[in-house]
Amino acid sequence: MSDLSGRTVLITGAAGGIGTAMAERFAAAGARLALVDIGDASDLAARLGPDNRTYSLDLGDPAAIAETVARIGAEMGIDVLVNNAGVGMVFPAETADLAAWDLTMNINLRAPWLVAAAALPFLKASGRGRIINISSQAGLVAIDEHAAYGASKAGLILLTKIQALEWARFGITANSIAPTVVETPMALVGWSGEKGVKARQEIPVGRFAKPSEIAAAAVFLAGEDAGIINGETLVADGGFTIR
């Protein structure tokens, strides 16, 4: 495991399934955590160590993003940014649901851009900054009823490449992770029954990803051993997109 002692990791969506696994893995690697969520992550922060802090943030509010990230940077510094928060609204491409489309784009694509931009001064100051954006297999291949979600995640992959290109000169790397369905409580409800059985059958390894596997990938990308990896997408989909 990477040694991240002395580094501050900002994780958005920290109170959710993948976010909680991220927090646990980064804490085990020695990092200090800034746990960001619209919900309450204080119990998680306390459980993982006395130096961790929580910040309540609505990622749909650009002004709140700028204020909160600046406060985190001033109070803790930012060495690693994990843009994990996202929404998974799905509907057919023919459905003109503007509210769902805008919410998906605002949380899945605009927010990671704004959080990273606000964190940039602190990532520069770190001299070894890391950005890890959580995308999806839906950003790589077409999936039924994933027009908004897939477009947002594809956009996030390209945003990652541009961040990698523009900010490498500051000692910052930017990479994304594209998982298959991850076994969070919400996903297990959404992919239950026949739908879930069929989806697993389409994955060569025959199962969904575990939150701990995605967290382990993020910790690797944050560590020194991944310093040469920049602008890449680590596909954690059990082989779903290789066919």
Tell me what pLDDT residue 51 has.
96
Strands, sheet with 80-83, edge to edge from the N-terminal-most edge strand:
53-56, 32-37, 8-12, 80-83, 130-134, 173-179, 233-236
Mean predicted confidence (pLDDT) in 57-65: 98
Segment 101-112 shows an average pLDDT of 98
Over residues 188-206, mean pLDDT: 90
Of residues 16 and 98, more confidently modeled: 98
What the block records as the tokens of 17 is 């399934």
Q: What residue ranges define each of the domains in the chain, with the CATH number in brackets?
A: 8-233 (3.40.50.720)
Residue 1: pLDDT over 80: no
- Could you give the 3-state DSSP secondary structure of residue 175? strand
Query: What pLDDT was estimated at residue 217?
Result: 98
Residue 50 has pLDDT above 90, yes or no: yes
* pLDDT given for residue 16 in this prediction: 84
- Can you tell me the mean pLDDT for 86-108? 94
Does an H or E element contain 180, and which? none
**What confidence tens digit (pLDDT) does each residue in 202-230 have?**
999 999 999 999 999 999 999 999 999 99
- pLDDT at residue 134 is higher than 80: yes
Q: Answer for the pair 219, 31: CB distance below 8 angstroms, yes or no.
A: no
**Residue 138: which of 146, 129, 128 has the closest Cα?**
146
Q: What pLDDT, in 10s, does the model give residues 6-36? A: 999 999 999 988 999 999 999 999 999 999 9
**Catalytic residue (one of 26, 55, 122, 149):** 149
Could you tell me which residues come within 8 angstroms of residue 158 by beta carbon, excluding any fewer than 6 positions away?
A: none
Name the H helices within 77-180: 98-105, 111-126, 147-167
Q: Is 149 a catalytic residue?
A: yes
Polymer length in residues for the chain: 243
Contact between residue 84 and residue 38 where contact means Cβ atoms under 8 Å apart: no
In degrees and rounded to multiples of 5, residue 92 shows phi and psi of: -60, 150
Mean pLDDT of 80-87: 96
Q: What is the pLDDT of residues 150-167, one digit of tens each?
A: 999 999 999 999 999 999
pTM, to two decimals: 0.96
Helix (H) or strand (E) holding 8: strand 8-12
- When pLDDT is averaged across residues 48-73 and rounded to a whole number, the result is 98
Token pair of 127 as six digits: 């001299």
| Of the candidate ranges 47-51, 119-123, 195-199, the one whose mean pLDDT is the lowest | 195-199
CB 85 within 8 A of CB 110: no
**What is the reported pLDDT for 233?**
98
pLDDT at res. 243:
86
